[in-house]
Amino acid sequence: MNCHPTVAFHTLGCKLNYTETGAIAKEFEKAGYNKVSFDGSADVYVINTCSVTENADKECKTMINRAMKKNPDAFIAVIGCYAQLKPEKIAGFDGVDMVVGASSKFSFIQEIKLKKNDKAVIMSCDIESVEKFIAAHSDETRTRAFLKIQDGCDYNCSYCTIPLARGKSRSNSISNILKEIDELALRGVKEVVLTGVNIGDFYYYENEKKISFTDLLHELEKSDGIERFRISSIEPNLVSDEIIRFVAQSKKFMPHFHIPLQSGSDRILNRMRRRYRSGLYASKVEKIKSLIPYAAIGGDVITGFAGETEEDFQQTYNFIEKLGMSYLHVFTYSERDHTHALLLDGVVPYRVRKERTAKLRALSEKLNRQFREKNQGRKLKVLFENSNHNGLMEGYSENYIRISAPYDENKVNSIIEIEYEPEMAELS
Ligand code: SF4
């Protein structure tokens, strides 16, 4: 008989959330829990929520119901960004035993009981008081790991709830990051993706000296054990020429930049309270292209933001098309409580927002196809992952092209050089 309690996790939202779920799962394992699938019966279910997801409410309720169906007596904890923003609301959902805000996200395990509460307990906090950095890295695969180096954000983009859910910007120290890197290398991880909310804003003081993101990059370049690093999303105003030059000559940092654009219209960027205008964005992309011609350059775009006219949208479309980016992540704007954007006029009808999203997604496909064609015949180095999809395995090239090849156990978790043909790829 297995006397260890079981715990199951479900994560909504971004890579940072997945990374943190990994760290929380480790705490449960240390406390003697066995981790099981969310699709099976567990004693405890943990749902890590997101405040950016369009249907945060609905998704959260769906997962609670799914857990209740599997085990009506299970203890259900709802944690994460949405739990920080709407604790009372979530506490009112049927089946919830605990709602955990930002400050207790990594310590609530001590409060869990292996029976249902009569009433949901709320462990919330004033987000202004959250200052501690808690380290985390993902633990699902051997091949690639996401490593949290920074949390929170001091920016105030008018549509965004993340600063309200995650608090002020704070960073891990380089010495701690190097320790985590060693741990991941020992596990056999080959590629580490640096993750955070606003990673370009990584900084802290050591003996009164400011340690910056570029200092971290230089230290990682010198480190042993991990063969590849990737910078995840970085704000345009923080992609310095120094960073671009560094990646251009680096042996370890992959030629891949993900730079949120959000809009190609300066009028809309102003309303969004973004800290750059389209000219600066274009200059960064041009600089990358001139120094690293085959770099992948992706970005996020929001369609239908308050006040976005047809002309603003067309400007965005033309801007992206002309820049020739490699791919886009397109999000349809949806209003969020407690944001400044709610006060703005010019609400765009939902149907129009969706049409604009569809147009930009089609543009993204076209740009991605062109990017893959540009790489035709080139030698690319692919890190193959350990999953067998109908006899095929997949991996990413240095410049983020998703490539498939016949499954070969000996090539799993290895970096293999191939001559690239676009039919080997899927949309990344
Ligand atoms: S930079 Fe802007 S969009 Fe990104 S987390 Fe900070 S406030 Fe939100």
| The ligand 1 atom nearest the CA atom of 160 | 8
Q: Ligand 1 centre from 18 Cα, in Å?
A: 18
Mean pLDDT in residue range 310-324? 97
Which is nearest to 413 in space by CA: 398, 427, 399, 394? 394
Mutational pocket test of ligand 1: of 50, 51, 155, the residue with most ligand atoms within 8 Å of the beta carbon: 155
Task: Look at 59-73, 106-120, 179-193 and tell me which has the smallest mean pLDDT.
Answer: 106-120
Q: In percent, how much of the chain has pLDDT > 90?
A: 86
Mutational pocket test of ligand 1: of 153, 235, 273, the residue with most ligand atoms within 8 Å of the beta carbon: 153
Mean pLDDT in residue range 8-31? 93
Q: Ligand 1 centre from 412 Cα, in Å?
A: 36
Task: Cite the DSSP H helix spans in 124-212.
Answer: 162-166, 174-186
Q: How far apart are the C-alpha atoms of 103 and 115, rounded to whole Å?
A: 24
**pLDDT (tens digit per residue) in 226-240:** 999 999 999 999 999
Q: How far apart are the C-alpha atoms of 27 and 46, rounded to whole Å?
A: 13
**pLDDT (tens digit per residue) in 364-392:** 999 999 999 999 999 999 999 988 888 99
Structure tokens, 33: 């829990």
Mutational pocket test of ligand 1: of 154, 157, 262, the residue with most ligand atoms within 8 Å of the beta carbon: 157
- The answer to whether 46 and 82 are in contact (CB under 8 A) is no
Continuous segment of H or E residues that includes residue 350:
helix 350-374
Q: Would you mind telling me the total number of residues written for the chain in this entry?
A: 428
Chain mean pLDDT for the chain: 94
**What residue's CA is closest to ligand 1, atom 1?**
155
Q: How far apart are the C-alpha atoms of 227 and 190, rounded to whole Å?
A: 5
To the nearest 10 degrees (0 to 180), the angle between helices 310-323 and 350-374 is 10
Mutational pocket test of ligand 1: of 52, 197, 268, the residue with most ligand atoms within 8 Å of the beta carbon: 197
192 pairs with which residues across the strands? 145, 229
Indicate if the pLDDT at residue 80 is higher than 80: yes
Instruction: Describe the strand order of the beta sheet including 256-258 as a list of residue ranges.
Output: 256-258, 296-303, 327-332
Which is nearest to 105 in space by CA: 130, 139, 128? 130
**pLDDT (tens digit per residue) in 147-160:** 999 999 999 999 99
**What residue's CA is closest to ligand 1, atom 8?**
160
Q: Ligand 1 centre from 197 Cα, in Å?
A: 7
**CATH of span 144-323:** 3.80.30.20
Q: Ligand 1 centre from 100 Cα, in Å?
A: 22
Amino acid at 57: D
Q: Ligand 1 centre from 133 Cα, in Å?
A: 18
Indicate if the pLDDT at residue 428 is higher than 60: no
pLDDT value for 224? 93
Q: Which sign does the torsion angle of CA 66, 67, 72, 77 carry?
A: negative
pLDDT value for 2? 60
147 pairs with which residues across the strands? 137, 194
Tell me the CA end-to-end span of the chain in Å, nearest whole number: 45
Structure tokens, 69: 């169906």
Mean pLDDT in residue range 329-341? 94
pLDDT band for position 128 (50/70/90)?
Answer: confident
Instruction: Count the neighbouring beta carbons within 10 Å of the beta carbon of residue 411.
Output: 16
Phi and psi based region of residue 331 (left: phi greater than 0; alpha: psi -120 to 50; beta: remaining): beta
One-character DSSP codes across 169-188: -EE--HHHHHHHHHHHHHTT
Continuous segment of H or E residues that includes residue 76:
strand 75-80
| The ligand 1 atom nearest the CA atom of 197 | 5
Mean pLDDT in residue range 398-412? 94
Mean pLDDT in residue range 269-283? 98
Q: Ligand 1 centre from 302 Cα, in Å?
A: 13
3-state secondary structure of 329: strand
Q: Ligand 1 centre from 240 Cα, in Å?
A: 18
Structural domain boundaries in the chain? 6-125, 144-323, 379-426
pLDDT value for 426? 57
Q: Ligand 1 centre from 228 Cα, in Å?
A: 27
Indicate if the pLDDT at residue 40 is higher than 90: yes
Mean pLDDT in residue range 52-73? 88
Indicate if the pLDDT at residue 320 is higher than 90: yes
pLDDT band for position 425 (50/70/90)?
Answer: low
Domain 6-125 has CATH 3.90.380.10: no
Phi and psi based region of residue 115 (left: phi greater than 0; alpha: psi -120 to 50; beta: remaining): beta
Phi and psi based region of residue 56 (left: phi greater than 0; alpha: psi -120 to 50; beta: remaining): alpha
Q: Ligand 1 centre from 134 Cα, in Å?
A: 20
pLDDT value for 1? 47
Indicate if the pLDDT at residue 17 is higher than 70: yes
| The ligand 1 atom nearest the CA atom of 154 | 6
Phi, psi of 45 (to 5 degrees): -115, 135
Mean pLDDT in residue range 163-187? 96
**pLDDT (tens digit per residue) in 188-211:** 999 999 999 999 999 999 999 999
Task: Look at 26-30, 48-52, 154-158 and tell me which has the smallest mean pLDDT.
Answer: 48-52
Which is nearest to 385 in space by CA: 342, 357, 347, 416? 416
Q: Ligand 1 centre from 160 Cα, in Å?
A: 6
Indicate if the pLDDT at residue 10 is higher than 60: yes
pLDDT band for position 142 (50/70/90)?
Answer: confident
Task: Cite the DSSP H helix spans in 95-207.
Answer: 162-166, 174-186
Q: Ligand 1 centre from 102 Cα, in Å?
A: 17
pLDDT value for 427? 38
Q: How far apart are the C-alpha atoms of 251 and 214, rounded to whole Å?
A: 15
Instruction: Count the neighbouring beta carbons within 10 Å of the beta carbon of residue 42.
Output: 24
pLDDT value for 422? 81
- The answer to whether 212 and 203 are in contact (CB under 8 A) is yes
Structure tokens, 196: 């955070």
Which is nearest to 307 in space by CA: 277, 275, 342? 342
| The ligand 1 atom nearest the CA atom of 161 | 8
Mutational pocket test of ligand 1: of 52, 156, 162, the residue with most ligand atoms within 8 Å of the beta carbon: 162
Mean pLDDT in residue range 100-128? 88
Q: How far apart are the C-alpha atoms of 151 and 49, rounded to whole Å?
A: 16
Residues within 6 Å of ligand 1 by CB? 153, 155-157, 160, 162-163, 197-198, 235
Indicate if the pLDDT at residue 329 is higher than 90: yes
